[in-house]
Amino acid sequence: MSIETILTKLCDGMITSVAIFTLTLIFSLPLGLLITFGRMSKNIILRTAMRAYISVMRGTPLMLQLLVVFYGPYFIFGINISNDYRFVAVIIGFSLNYAAYFAEIYRSGIESMPKGQYEAAKVLGYTRTQTFAKIIFPQVVKRIIPPVTNEVITLIKDTSLSFALAVPEMFTNAKAIAAAEKTMTAFVAAGIFYYVFNLIVALVMERVEKKLGYYR
């Protein structure tokens, strides 16, 4: 197999990896914020449920969660599983897992804000929603950029775990090519892809962090 053919097959996997990465962020970032609200709720039942959810998601392997999401509908509800569901199961599993991590990042950022800001906003006539949206959340975003960047970089590498559901992303294709051709070329190319992807994301997040800085 020529290098051109290997790169073509890897490009197909790269597109899938980028799709998993993008869709996971689209769903997990807002879901994580909702989980944070539940985790910080005054309702003890909701707060306990969200705390348990975060504990389970962070305390069990992502690969196991992917398998549960994929096989759960069949074993629990008797629903037949199609091959088309594999990619959907990957997105659901990744989103649920990363939402738990983002939720804790959001919570730490929100709880780090001085209580005086809430009191000052109340004196100025802001509602709780206005206080959070206009005063608290913009500052929280700035504070949580570094830990969010770490999770995003981890997500890029974790996309390789979708091989557990036989989703043909970059790593899955590289492994298949290496086994068939008995060559390390595919692994080297895949490694370069992950490194460059991580480098681009790190640079973008660094620029975002600088733009959000109060002082330049």
Angle formed at CA 157 by CA 54 and CA 153, multiple of 5 degrees: 70
In a domain, 21, yes or no: yes
Task: Give me the pLDDT at residue 104, please.
Answer: 95
In a domain, 33, yes or no: yes
Q: What is the DSSP string of 49-99?
A: HHHHHHHHHHHS-HHHHHHHHHHHHHHHH-----TTHHHHHHHHHHHHHHH
Band the pLDDT of 152: cuts 50, 70, 90. very high
The whole-chain average pLDDT of the chain stands at 88
Nearest CA-CA partner of 1 in 193, 183, 189:
183
Band the pLDDT of 214: cuts 50, 70, 90. low
Task: Give me the pLDDT at residue 80, please.
Answer: 85
In a domain, 167, yes or no: yes
The answer to whether the Cα torsion of 133, 134, 136, 141 is positive or negative is positive
In a domain, 83, yes or no: yes
Average the pLDDT over 179-185 and give the result. Answer: 80
In a domain, 56, yes or no: yes
How many independent structural domains does the chain possess? 1
Nearest CA-CA partner of 92 in 168, 174, 26, 185:
26
Domain with 87, as residue range(s), is 3-113+144-211
In a domain, 42, yes or no: yes
Band the pLDDT of 57: cuts 50, 70, 90. very high
In a domain, 170, yes or no: yes
- Which of 15-19, 62-66, 206-210 is predicted with the least confidence, judged by mean pLDDT? 206-210
Q: What is the DSSP string of 137-198?
A: HHHHHHHHHHHHHHHHHHHHHHGGGGGGGT---HHHHHHHHHHHHT-SHHHHHHHHHHHHHH
Q: What is the pTM of this model?
A: 0.88
Band the pLDDT of 11: cuts 50, 70, 90. confident
Residue pointed to by tokens 């700035």: 142
Structure tokens at 79: 């629903």
Task: Give me the pLDDT at residue 215, please.
Answer: 46
Which CATH number do you get for residue 157?
Answer: 1.10.3720.10
Task: Give me the pLDDT at residue 136, please.
Answer: 87
In a domain, 44, yes or no: yes
Distance CA 137, CA 18 (A): 28
Average the pLDDT over 189-214 and give the result. Answer: 85
Task: Give me the pLDDT at residue 28, please.
Answer: 96
Most confident of 85-89, 131-135, 165-169: 85-89
